[in-house]
Structure 1
Amino acid sequence: MTTFNTAILDLVAKPLVWLSGSRDTVLALNTAARRVFATVHPPVPAAAVFGAAAPAVGAWLAGPGAPEPFCRLTIDCTTPAGPRRLELTVGDLPAGAEGVLVSVEDHSDDVLDGSAENAWRATLADVLQSLPVGLELYDQDMSEVFANTESSAMFGYSTEDVGRLDDWWVVGYPDPEYRRKARQAWYDAVALSRTTRADVRMQDWEVTCKDGSRKLVAFRYRAIGEQHALLFWDMTERRSLETELRRVAETDVLTGVYERRRFLAAVAAALGEAAAGGEPLTLLMIDIDHFKVINDTLGHSGGDEVLRTVGRRLAEGVRIDDIVGRLGGEEFAVLLPRLHGVPAREVAERLRTALSGAPFEVAGERLPVHASIGGTQSPGETDSVDTLLERADQALYAAKRTGRNRVVFFGDPS
Structure 2
Amino acid sequence: MSRTQRPHNPFWQAAKVALAYCVTAFLWIAFSDDLLGRWLGVSGEVTRYQTIKGWGFVLVSGLVLYVVVLRYLRLSAGYAEEIAAQRVEIQALSQFRANIIDNASIWLNVLDPQANILVWNKAAEQITGYSRDEVRGNARIWDWLYPDPQYRGFVRRKATELLEQGASLSDFHTRITARDGTEKVIAWEAQRLYGSEGELVGAIALGQDITERLAMEQALVENERYLTTLLGNLPGMAYRCLHDQHWTMKFVSAGCEPLTGYPPQALLDNAVVSYASLIHPEDMPRVAREAYEAETELRPFALEYRLRRRDGREIWVWEQGRVLEEESGLVEGFIMEITERKLLEQELAQLAIRDPLTGLFNRRELERRLCEELERSRRYGHALSLLMIDVDHFKAINDALGHERGDEVLCALSRQLQRSVRPMDYVARYGGEELLIVLPELSAEQARGLAERIRSETEAAYPGSHPAGGPLTLSIGVAAYPAHGASVAGLLRAADQAMYSAKRAGRNCVRLAPEASAAG
Normalization by structure 1: what TM-score? 0.65
Return the offset for 1:169: 5.1
SS at match of 1:351: helix
Counterpart check, 1:210 vs 2:313 = no
Is the contact between residue 444 and residue 478 of structure 2 (CA under 8 Å) also seen in structure 1?
A: no
Whichever residue aligns with residue 378 of structure 1, its letter is: Y
Whichever residue aligns with residue 214 of structure 1, its letter is: E
Is the contact between residue 259 and residue 337 of structure 2 (CA under 8 Å) also seen in structure 1?
A: yes
Distance 1:266 1:214 in 2: 30
Return the offset for 1:283: 0.8
Distance 2:484 2:237 in 1: 51
Bigger helix fraction: 2
User: Which one of the candidate residues 223, 226, 229 is aligned to 2:323?
Assistant: 223
The residue that corresponds to 2:499 in the other structure is 396
The residue that corresponds to 1:274 in the other structure is 377
The residue that corresponds to 2:232 in the other structure is 129
Whichever residue aligns with residue 383 of structure 2, its letter is: P
Q: Could you report, residue by residue, the CA deviation over 1:326-369 in whole angstroms, capped at 9, with x for unpaired residues?
A: 11122111111121133222111111112222335659996511
Q: Could you report, residue by residue, the CA deviation over 1:155-212 in whole angstroms, capped at 9, with x for unpaired residues?
A: 1212322223594157525x8xx27x61x445434432233322112241x2222222
Distance 2:515 2:508 in 1: 16
Given the superposition, is the C-alpha separation of residues 136 and 341 from structure 1 closer, same or farther in structure 2, using an over 3 Å criterion?
A: same
SS at match of 2:215: coil
Given the superposition, is the C-alpha separation of residues 293 and 131 from structure 1 closer, same or farther in structure 2, using an over 3 Å criterion?
A: closer
User: Which one of the candidate residues 241, 256, 279 is aligned to 1:151?
Assistant: 256
Return the offset for 1:82: 5.8
The residue that corresponds to 2:55 in the other structure is none
Distance 1:187 1:253 in 2: 38
Distance 2:320 2:407 in 1: 48
Whichever residue aligns with residue 208 of structure 1, its letter is: R
Distance 1:277 1:78 in 2: 89
Is the contact between residue 353 and residue 361 of structure 2 (CA under 8 Å) also seen in structure 1?
A: yes
SS at match of 1:304: helix
Q: Kindly, what percent of the aligned residue pairs are identical?
A: 30
Bigger strand fraction: 1
Distance 2:468 2:349 in 1: 36
Return the offset for 1:153: 1.9
Distance 1:390 1:216 in 2: 43
SS at match of 2:348: helix
Whichever residue aligns with residue 207 of structure 1, its letter is: L
Whichever residue aligns with residue 440 of structure 2, its letter is: P
Distance 1:400 1:328 in 2: 17
Is the contact between residue 319 and residue 335 of structure 2 (CA under 8 Å) also seen in structure 1?
A: yes
Structure 2: which 5+ runs fail to align?
1-169, 174-184, 189-210
Return the offset for 1:298: 2.3
Question: Pairwise mapping of residues 74-223 of structure 1 onto structure 2 (< 5 A)?
Answer: 77=171, 83=187, 112-113=215-216, 119-120=222-223, 122-139=225-242, 143-164=248-269, 167-168=273-274, 171-173=277-279, 178=281, 182=284, 184-204=285-305, 206-223=306-323
Given the superposition, is the C-alpha separation of residues 213 and 191 from structure 1 closer, same or farther in structure 2, using an over 3 Å criterion?
A: closer
Given the superposition, is the C-alpha separation of residues 157 and 384 from structure 1 closer, same or farther in structure 2, using an over 3 Å criterion?
A: same
Distance 2:380 2:315 in 1: 37
Distance 2:470 2:484 in 1: 43
SS at match of 1:160: helix
Counterpart check, 1:232 vs 2:338 = no
Given the superposition, is the C-alpha separation of residues 140 and 369 from structure 1 closer, same or farther in structure 2, using an over 3 Å criterion?
A: closer
How well do the aligned residues superpose, as a CA RMSD in angstroms? 3.5
The residue that corresponds to 1:387 in the other structure is 490
Question: Pairwise mapping of residues 285-304 of structure 1 onto structure 2 (< 5 A)?
Answer: 285-304=388-407
